Amino acid sequence: MTDYNEELDCSGMNCPMPILKTKMKIDTMKDGEVLRVIATDPGACSDMPAWSSRVGHELVESCEEGDKFVFYIRKDE
Amino acid sequence: MNKMGERKSMAIIASKGTLDWAYPPFILASTAAAMDMNVKMFFTFYGLPLLKKKIKAKVSPAGNPAMPMKMPFGPKAFQGLNWPIPNVVSNNVPGFETVATGLMKKTFKNKGVATVTELRDMCEQLGVEMIGCQMTMDVFGFERDEFIDGVNIGGAATFLEFAAEADIQLFI
């Protein structure tokens, strides 16, 4: 379990909203902080790594919790 | 800027105005902007009304002969069924477009898909530049104040100057 600073629940949202909401949320955070994102869209499993790799944030951990997908993203320093 | 130290850019021409065709340009533009790309969209011909304050896009069966219909209610297995609609029905029954549009909107909502208006709002918030085609305005009789704030008006050269340097160019 990774420590995190902020949490964003994207349950029920479909592509591309989880990515857009994550982008907007992480823009309000400080460098080095970790955002925990919860999603139910299976597409997020490939989209979240693609997005974070593109913009340079670190996808620290991703896992499944029940029927949800959880991502921990550290804002690029 | 991305980790490679260069900002990518994307140029999109949105030329179609039905509800189904309204989605791809706004989905791709908003996502590209969220990926730190510089994005410009050029709205021309039937795509231009997508810049109006209220989007009234409908589904059209014309040109979509394989369009399946899904029912947004009932048991899950029932909702999963495809209902092929014969062209003789879709092209001739009055009100078919309104019914099909209602069903598609409801299905999208059930699946957590944002509305076209919501996606356009996201584009604005993420700094996507939207350009309305001057010639289309003249031909179809649109006025600048019918469009949302922040829209720039221009022609083919305005778009191509940006597109010439863009990493991705899409015609939708």
* B43 plus B76 within the same structural domain: no
pTM of the model: 0.88
Cβ pair B35:A14 closer than 8 A: no
Instruction: Give the CATH number of the domain where residue B42 resides.
Output: 3.40.1260.10
- Kindly state the DSSP code that residue A52 receives in the 8-state scheme: H
- The answer to whether B31 contacts chain A (CB < 8 Å) is yes
- The answer to whether B114 contacts chain A (CB < 8 Å) is yes
CB B53 within 8 A of CB B147: yes
Q: Measured between alpha carbons, how far is A46 from A28 in angstroms, rounded to an integer?
A: 24
Residue pLDDT, tens place only, A8-66: 999 999 999 999 999 999 999 999 999 999 999 999 999 999 999 999 999 999 999 99
The total of other beta-carbon atoms located within 10 Å of residue B3's CB is: 13
Q: Which two tokens stand for residue B90?
A: 């879709």
Q: Is residue B63 part of a domain?
A: no
Closest residue by Cα to residue B41 from B119, B101, B112, B114 = B119
- The answer to whether B2 contacts chain A (CB < 8 Å) is yes
* B31 plus B50 within the same structural domain: yes
Residue B2: which of A20, A23, A56 has the nearest Cβ? A56
Q: Quick one: CATH architecture of A6-74?
A: 2-Layer Sandwich (3.30)
Q: Is residue B158 part of a domain?
A: yes
Residue pLDDT, tens place only, B69-125: 778 888 888 888 887 777 777 777 778 888 889 988 998 899 899 999 999 999 999
Three-state SS annotation for A30-69: CCCCEEEEEECCCCHHHHHHHHHHHHCCEEEEEEEECCEE
CB B149 within 8 A of CB A46: no
Q: Is residue B156 part of a domain?
A: yes
Provide the β-strand partners of residue B147.
B52
Closest residue by Cα to residue B15 from B39, B48, B40 = B48
Q: Is residue B4 part of a domain?
A: no
Q: Is residue B62 part of a domain?
A: no
Looking at the structure of chain B, the number of domains it has is 2
Q: Where are the domains of chain A?
A: 6-74
Cβ pair B34:A15 closer than 8 A: no
CB A73 within 8 A of CB A35: yes
Does the structure show a pLDDT above 80 at A1?
no
Boundaries of domain holding B36 = 9-57+117-171
Cβ pair B126:A54 closer than 8 A: no
* B74 plus B51 within the same structural domain: no
Q: What is the mean pLDDT of chain B?
A: 89
pLDDT tier at B2, thresholds 50, 70, 90: low
* B77 plus B34 within the same structural domain: no
